[in-house]
Amino acid sequence: MIKVSNLTKQYKRNTAVSDLSFTVNQGDVYGFLGQNGAGKSTTIRMLLTLITPTSGNIEIFGMNLQENRTDILRQIGAVVEKPDVYKYLSAYENVSLFARMSGIKVSDKLIKNQLEVVGLADRSKDIVTTFSQGMKQRLGIAIALVHNPKLIILDEPTNGLDPQGIADVRNLILSLSNEMGKTVVVSSHLLSEIEQVASRLLIIDKGKKLVEGSTQELLDPAQTMIELDTADNIAALDKLAQSEWATALQPERNGKLLLKMHKNNIPELHKGLVALDIAVISLQPRHSLEDYFLQITTTNQHVPTFAN
């Protein structure tokens, strides 16, 4: 669906996106992750031709974006950050208006169906000023779906939402994929939310790709991180460095020892710590997307050391 090759965007001395390459396959819920300022929104704006790349190539649906802009954009629905809707019109009127602006012949049935998809059928006649931010977000997605696009691009769709609004958008993304067969690209810095919906992931930092792959691959149980705190981390580090667990040691995080291993080896680690006479305060397995993200984006990449 999308093939991005060596994409770069520079603003004078600032490089927002640097030599970025990735692919999105048909049917993916593709999680596009990075901290604020990592280059996610810049990349999405280039995918939607809102800004022009400095260099690189973008293909969507097997066509060059620059050469086939109109044909490609007709098949894409997008919500970039907060949806720009008419606040003093009803939900129904907003969908109808945007559909007609896009040159789509709309019927009452089509509009009601789109509002049903996003869970706003019972509020279709209410004006948007009465909506919560989460409802406005879902209305924006309804508008993005009205022309039945092949590809949906959502840029930070849960920004500023309360927990219920976040859950509503999450369930909607799953419905778009599982029930409607859409390919969805979702950018976010809310890692716990992306972990629940994404089938594949791209993580970028400072405009550069760090890793890309399936959620299952990236959260491999063989790559479980163990965060260990002891009564004396300096002595514990010295003992572990001379033991069978030396190869499992990782760069420190938050002043604690860190080891990487298969989760099935954790019981043996418990026994090993006892045998080494290490007084354990806490031992916590970390195997979430957030932990993985922190692991690969940390700037603290030196050999573990601890101050007295």
Of the ranges 56-60, 184-188, 260-264, which one carries the lowest mean pLDDT score?
A: 260-264
SS3 298: coil
Alpha-carbon torsion (272, 275, 276, 278), positive or negative? positive
Of the ranges 39-43, 245-249, 285-289, which one carries the lowest mean pLDDT score?
A: 285-289
Report CA 60 to chain centroid distance, whole Å: 20
Q: Is the pLDDT of residue 12 over 50?
A: yes
Q: Give helix then strand counts, H and E, for the chain.
A: 11, 14
With a CB cutoff of 8 Å and minimum separation 6, the contacts of 127 are 87, 88, 89, 90
pLDDT the model gives residue 8: 96
The first and second tokens of residue 259, run together, are 């080891």
Query: If you average pLDDT over every residue of the chain, what do you get?
Result: 87
Nearest-angstrom CA–CA distance, 24 and 154: 14
Helical H segments across the chain, by residue range: 40-47, 69-73, 91-101, 108-117, 133-145, 163-178, 191-197, 215-218, 233-241, 266-275, 289-297
Block residue for tokens 């997605």: 141
* Mean pLDDT in residue range 237-243: 94
SS3 248: helix
Q: Which of 183, 123, 194 is nearest to 148 (CA)?
A: 183
Q: Which of 82, 75, 102, 80 is nearest to 2 (CA)?
A: 75
Domains annotated for the chain, with CATH where assigned, are 2-214 (3.40.50.300), 221-297 (3.30.70.980)
pLDDT the model gives residue 304: 35
Nearest-angstrom CA–CA distance, 207 and 42: 9
pLDDT in tens, 146-184: 888 999 999 988 887 888 888 888 898 999 999 889 999
The first and second tokens of residue 93, run together, are 């009127």
With cut-offs at 50, 70 and 90, classify the pLDDT of residue 307: very low
Q: Which of 210, 203, 134, 214 is nearest to 168 (CA)?
A: 134
pLDDT the model gives residue 288: 63
